[in-house]
């Protein structure tokens, strides 16, 4: 296991493509369970204006052989602060990279974006049906009424 971030000084990557995600062995293989990461202050840039866009991301996954190391995930998500992308591309792109690299049993993401031009944009994606017997709680983010 070659971890690049845990226990070390790790600067914020310049872009999501430069970010390296670390994975460690699943400590509970063979039993489906859900892992949730929440990033209530996620930021990326509008590809048209270059202005910052803000979102509350909720990432749920059921691991298979590995789990994502949380510091590397935090740095990966932080790398989007200088990345230009539409809400749909950013949200789905985060999930697709994790699925491609980690190969979880199941993954879903909810991107609850704050208004742009007076309209909030929420983006949802999942890799398929959740495993049988997996408890999948509601993501707990209310419909837009001045997010909070």
Q: Which of 46, 64, 84, 122 is catalytic?
A: 46
First to last CA, the chain: 38
60 catalytic residue (yes or no): no
Cα separation of 6 and 69, whole Å? 8
Per-residue confidence (pLDDT) for residue 2, from 0 to 100: 72
Can you tell me the mean pLDDT for 138-142?
Answer: 91
Question: How does DSSP classify residue 84?
Answer: B
Q: Which of 2, 53, 64, 122 is catalytic?
A: 53
Whether the Cβ atoms of residue 125 and residue 95 lie closer than 8 Å to each other: yes
Q: Bridge partners of 52?
A: 45
46 catalytic residue (yes or no): yes
Per-residue confidence (pLDDT) for residue 142, from 0 to 100: 83
3-46 pLDDT, tens digit per residue, is: 776 777 889 999 999 999 999 999 999 999 999 999 999 999 99
Cα separation of 127 and 130, whole Å? 8
67-78 pLDDT, tens digit per residue, is: 999 999 999 999
95-131 pLDDT, tens digit per residue, is: 999 999 999 999 999 999 999 888 899 999 999 999 9
Q: Which domains does the chain have, with CATH numbers?
A: 23-126 (3.30.1130.10)
């Amino acid at each position: 296991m070659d971890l690049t971030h845990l226990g070390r000084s790790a600067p914020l990557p310049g872009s999501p493509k430069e970010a390296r995600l670390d994975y460690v062995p699943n400590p509970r293989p063979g039993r489906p369970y859900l892992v949730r990461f929440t990033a209530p202050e996620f930021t990326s840039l509008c590809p048209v204006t270059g202005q910052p866009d803000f979102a509350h991301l909720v990432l749920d996954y059921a691991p298979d052989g590995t789990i994502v190391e949380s510091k590397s995930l935090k740095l990966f998500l932080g790398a989007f602060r200088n990345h230009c992308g539409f809400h749909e591309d950013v949200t789905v792109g985060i999930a697709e990279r994790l699925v491609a690299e980690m190969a979880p049993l199941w993954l879903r993401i909810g991107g609850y974006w704050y208004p742009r031009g007076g309209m909030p944009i929420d983006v949802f994606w999942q890799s398929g049906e959740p495993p049988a017997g997996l408890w999948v709680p509601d993501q707990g983010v209310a419909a837009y009424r001045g997010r909070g």
